[in-house]
Amino acid sequence: MVAPPPAPTGEEKGTWGAIAYSPGDRRHGFFWGADKRQEAEDIALKHCENADGAGCRVVEVFRNHRHWDDGDGTGFPYEHCAALSVGKSRGPATPFWGAASATTRHEAEDKATAQCGGDKKECKIREWVCT
């Protein structure tokens, strides 16, 4: 799986969200509405751990504009929807989950399902969120 982009440097602007996932036991957590990226990551991770996830890690970070002119010059995209797709394990070389962000829920779900390595029959959306 692709790691979330690195944290932006400088002032963060926008409304942040994150999804955390524990592949071994398929537990997850999410959060949206944070003022800072780290806050969204920390809370999503805590929600995953509170769901008894043993190997939780942040798998997707996303944000939305607070105002249409709040570009902060960090290069971090404003893709305000994210999704987590989980399927059945088909061996060590084939992923059985995917997480992605996009500008729409539908696009985020499609990207997460593609990362999961299957189609919508094999991989199901376990969570989606838009800020």
The mean per-residue pLDDT over the stretch 77-97 comes to 79
| pLDDT tier for residue 56 given thresholds of 50, 70 and 90 | very high
The mean per-residue pLDDT over the stretch 31-57 comes to 95
Cα angle value 36/75/112 (rounded, 5°)? 75
CA–CA dist 76, 123 (Å, integer): 28
Q: Read off the tokens for 86.
A: 């989980």
Q: pTM for this one?
A: 0.81
| pLDDT tier for residue 6 given thresholds of 50, 70 and 90 | low
User: Cβ(97)–Cβ(73) under 8 Å?
Assistant: no
Q: Over 70: is that where the pLDDT of 70 sits?
A: no
Q: In terms of Cα–Cα distance, which of 37, 42, 31, 118 is closest to 82? A: 31
pLDDT at 53: 94
